[in-house]
Amino acid sequence: MLTRFKEKIQSMLRAEAEIAYKIGLTPSHLSAAGAALGISSGIFYWITGFSASDPLRSRACLFLAVLFLLSSGFLDALDGVLARIRKEASAKGAFLDSLLDRYVDSAVYIGIIMGGLCDLLWGTLALIGSLLTSYVRARSEALKIPMESIGVFERAERIMLIAASSIISLFWLEALRWGILILAVATNLTVLQRVIFFFKSYSKYK
């Protein structure tokens, strides 16, 4: 759903992208930094669970996990704006960006699961649903059927829900567990919505 505001968000990030351009950063730099921050977020989610016996350390790690996750999402949005400013937007760059996003998504979910911050079943379903949401779109668009903004939970919504529930978990520990449960349902519902959309649209775009 938030994808519908993509152009507006990109225009808001133009000033930051121009600063990055002036200091010599490239889209690849931002993509690599975003991926590193995202994977670090997963590591800190994992450490959060193992630090449960020390509430202060656990909350500090959880705060860092959220900070790195949001920073990763910010850089992920910024690299596309910078690519357009530098006139370097390409299918190769989009492919690499999408690949790195999947690594980040996997790292975050695995960190949450391994840290015991959610139930194994719901965490696994949330991970599967998130990966399949992106896979279904990629396969559909490879067959010339556009699927941007189809479904209730795309990547931006997933990041925002994980971040929001993590912040609430600083005060109410069960919030992240409930956030992952919601994601397990919502991401797989999104996959179903996209599958239905694909079959309805196939004859039209064939």
In the annotation, is 54 catalytic?
Answer: no
Residues 150 and 102 in one domain: no
**62 lies in the same domain as 125:** no
Residues 6+ apart with CB under 8 A from 105: 38, 127, 130, 131, 134, 155, 158
Of all residues in the chain, the percent with pLDDT exceeding 70 is 92
- What pLDDT score was predicted for residue 205? 55
Whether 129 and 111 map to the same domain: the answer is: no
pLDDT at position 8, please? Answer: 66
Residue 152 and residue 123 share a domain: yes
Tell me the CB-side half-sphere exposure of residue 13, using CA atoms within 13 A.
22
pLDDT at 130: 95
Mean pLDDT of 182-192: 95
The residue range of the domain holding 192 is 118-206
* 166 located within any domain: yes
Q: Look at 58-62, 83-87, 137-141 and tell me which has the smallest mean pLDDT.
A: 83-87
| Three-state helix/strand/coil letters over the chain | CHHHHHHHHHHHCHHHHHHHHHCCCCHHHHHHHHHHHHHHHHHHHHHHHHCCCCHHHHHHHHHHHHHHHHHHHHHHHHHHHHHHHCCCCCHHHHHHHHHHHHHHHHHHHHHHHHCCCCCHHHHHHHHHHHHHHHHHHHHHHHCCCCCCCCCCCCHHHHHHHHHHHHHHHCCCCCHHHHHHHHHHHHHHHHHHHHHHHHHHHHHHHC
Domain boundary among 87, 117, 147: 117
Last residue of a domain, one of 117, 137, 156: 117
Which among 76, 79, 101, 105 is annotated as catalytic?
101
Contacts of 200 (CB under 8 A, 6+ apart): none
Q: 99 and 135 share a domain?
A: no
Determine, yes or no, domain membership for 135. yes
Q: Is the pLDDT reported for residue 103 higher than 90?
A: yes
Same domain, 144 and 192: yes
In the chain, the number of structural domains is 2
136 is a domain residue: yes
pLDDT single digits (tens) 144-158:
888 877 888 888 889
Band the pLDDT of 109: cuts 50, 70, 90.
Answer: very high
CATH number of the domain encompassing residue 145: 1.20.120.1760
Where a domain ends, among 86, 117, 148?
Answer: 117
pLDDT band at 10; cut points 50, 70, 90: low
Are 111 and 139 part of one and the same domain?
A: no
User: CA–CA separation, 26 vs 130, rounded Å?
Assistant: 28
> Across the chain, what does the average pLDDT equal?
88
What local confidence, expressed as pLDDT, does residue 197 receive?
A: 92
- The string of pLDDT tens digits covering residues 36-60 is 999 999 999 999 998 988 999 999 9
- Tell me, yes or no, whether 148 lies in a domain: yes
**Co-location of 12 and 113 in the same domain:** yes
- Which residue did the predictor score with more confidence, 3 or 32? 32
| pLDDT for position 126 | 97
One domain for residues 106 and 133: no
